[in-house]
Amino acid sequence: MAGTRTKRVIISGGGTGGHIFPAIAIANALKRLAPDTELLFVGANGRMEMDKVPAAGYEIIGLDIQGINRKSLWKNLTLPFKLYKSIRKARQIVRDFKPDVAVGVGGYASGPLLHTAVQLGIPCLIQEQNSYAGITNKRLGAKVDKVCVAFEGMEKFFPKEKILLTGNPIRRESVDIQSKRFEAAELLSLSPHKKTILLTGGSLGARTLNVCMREGLEKLIAADVQVIWQCGGYYYDELRAVIGNAYENSVKLTAFLHRMDLAYAAADVIIARAGAGTIAELCAVGKPAILVPSPNVAEDHQTKNAKALVDKAAALMVSDMEAPQQLVDTALALLHDEKRCKVLRTTISKLAIWDADEVIAREVLKLAGEN
């Protein structure tokens, strides 16, 4: 890299695991490639990045920012004031830290920080995880220096000359599943010889998936199927009370999976939302997957994410509306269709991109070196 001065990088964004985990993966890659890099995260107060980033060993500063509340419009009255306050604080953060480059991964904090960095002449890079770009990234795309994307066809959102197709960074420790099925079964108190479904609603949980699993549990148990059920912290206490200990030998209910590698290793079929980060990990683990896109996301981008796999015969999709009637039956049929499982395993594995974190990190360091 040009010069010998230690490079300083700000990474902004968060809100969900789909934004936070790629951000941390990029930070880890930067540290592998240039160990003396100084890193600072900027997130949104009250969001999960304020816990997850320090747990990963990095400093984070919070902005008092929120997104548009589409369910309760009156709660948006303070939004202009919070935005103004966040931009002022972001400006102070940039001036104090003096970054060589700013990286935005999406989420509430990404907008004010990148907006400020662009104004102050700091080189900027956007990492867009989804097949449909978010409104903040679309607005900033023409102003930043580089846009790293995970899907083809993103020219409709960003200037073509700024786009680099990198794939999404994955948590390498989470997709390291080789030869772990028996270890996973032992630690999760499951049988390694029984068919197993992993249902994961992402870091926050998913109401539809939880309802489907709750109502289909008897059918799954009758089919002698084991379930690893990640339900989200918001839903855990209610589901724990309903399920009790009646299914403890066959159902492992958890609010959050701290060892995704073991859950992936134990699974024969995976049911999940279609967030971009989840899809990147599913490609890496190479297991048959049923995607249930969340309808509660901007521009229905999870359906677009899922179709990118379905169109390549790499996954199955059940809509959120149809899931209560179809999801459990679809999962059982897939579990017992080894020919179809083999096709899905082969096809989805071909879509895996293992080094997205380092490709993006090199682009960040390149921009930092040019500053």
Residue with tokens 């008897």: 218
Neighbours of 286 (CB within 10 A): 20
In this structure, what are the phi and psi dihedrals at residue 254, rounded to the nearest 5 degrees?
-145, 145
207 is in an annotated binding site: no
286 is in an annotated binding site: no
Asked if 6 and 30 count as a contact pair (C-beta separation under 8 A), the reply is: no
127 is in an annotated binding site: no
Q: Look up residue 38 and give its DSSP letter.
A: E
Residues found in the chain = 371
Neighbours of 216 (CB within 10 A): 18
326 is in an annotated binding site: no
Q: Which residues contact 190 (CB under 8 A, 6 or more apart)?
A: 184, 196, 226, 228, 252, 266
Nearest to 219 by CA among 72, 135, 335, 128: 335
168 is in an annotated binding site: no
167 is in an annotated binding site: no
Query: Rounded to an integer, what distance in angstroms lies between the CA atom of residue 189 and that of residue 250?
Result: 9
Query: Rounded to an integer, what distance in angstroms lies between the CA atom of residue 307 and that of residue 294?
Result: 13
Q: Look up residue 143 and give its two tokens.
A: 């102003």
Q: Look up residue 86 and give its two tokens.
A: 């966040």
**Cα dist. 232→110, 203, 227, 321, 352 in Å?**
25, 6, 15, 20, 26
Q: Look up residue 102 and give its two tokens.
A: 């700013």
Residue 130, Ramachandran bin (φ over 0: left; ψ between -120 and 50: alpha; else beta): beta
62 is in an annotated binding site: no
Residue numbering of the annotated binding site? 16-18, 130, 171, 203, 302
Residue numbering of the annotated binding site for UDP-N-acetyl-alpha-D-glucosamine? 16-18, 130, 171, 203, 302
